[in-house]
Amino acid sequence: MGNAFYSNFLIAIFDAKIAVYRYFIELSYLGKNYCGWQIQTNANTVQAEVNRALSLILQEDIMTLGAGRTDTGVHASYFVAHFNSKQEINIPSSKSLIHSLNEVLPHDIAIANIFEVNPEAHARFSALSRTYKYYISQKKNPFTIDTSWIFKVDLNIDLMQKASSILLNYTDFTSFSKVGSDVKTNNCKITHAAWQVEGSNLVFTIQADRFLRNMVRAIVGTLVDVGREKISLSDFIEIIERKDRGLAGTSAPAAGLFLMDIEYPDEIFK
Q: Would you call 71 a catalytic residue per the annotation?
A: yes
Averaged pLDDT for residues 115-134: 97
Distances (CA, A) of 175 to 226, 238, 244: 15, 10, 5
Average pLDDT over the chain reads: 92
Averaged pLDDT for residues 148-158: 96
Q: Look at residue 18 in the predicted model and tell me its pLDDT.
A: 56
Radius of gyration of the chain (CA): 22
pTM > 0.85: yes or no: yes
For a pLDDT cut of 90, what percent of the chain falls above it? 85
The catalytically annotated residue of 71, 108, 182, 266 is 71
- Give exposure, 12-46, as e/b (b: 16+ Cβ within 10 Å): eeeeeeeeeebbbbbbbbbbebbbbbbbeeeeebb
CATH number of 2-125: 3.30.70.580
The residue ranges of every structural domain in the chain are: 2-125, 129-262
DSSP 120: T
Strand, coil or helix: 22: strand
Q: Which amino acid is at 215?
A: M
Q: Look at residue 10 in the predicted model and tell me its pLDDT.
A: 39
Range with the poorest average pLDDT among 167-171, 197-201, 259-263: 197-201
Question: Does residue 5 register a pLDDT over 50?
Answer: no
pLDDT tens digits, 165-179: 999 999 999 999 988
CB 79 within 8 A of CB 37: yes
Distances (CA, A) of 121 to 172, 241, 268: 28, 36, 5
Question: Does residue 141 register a pLDDT over 70?
Answer: yes
Averaged pLDDT for residues 39-49: 95
CATH number of 129-262: 3.30.70.660
Question: Does residue 46 register a pLDDT over 60?
Answer: yes
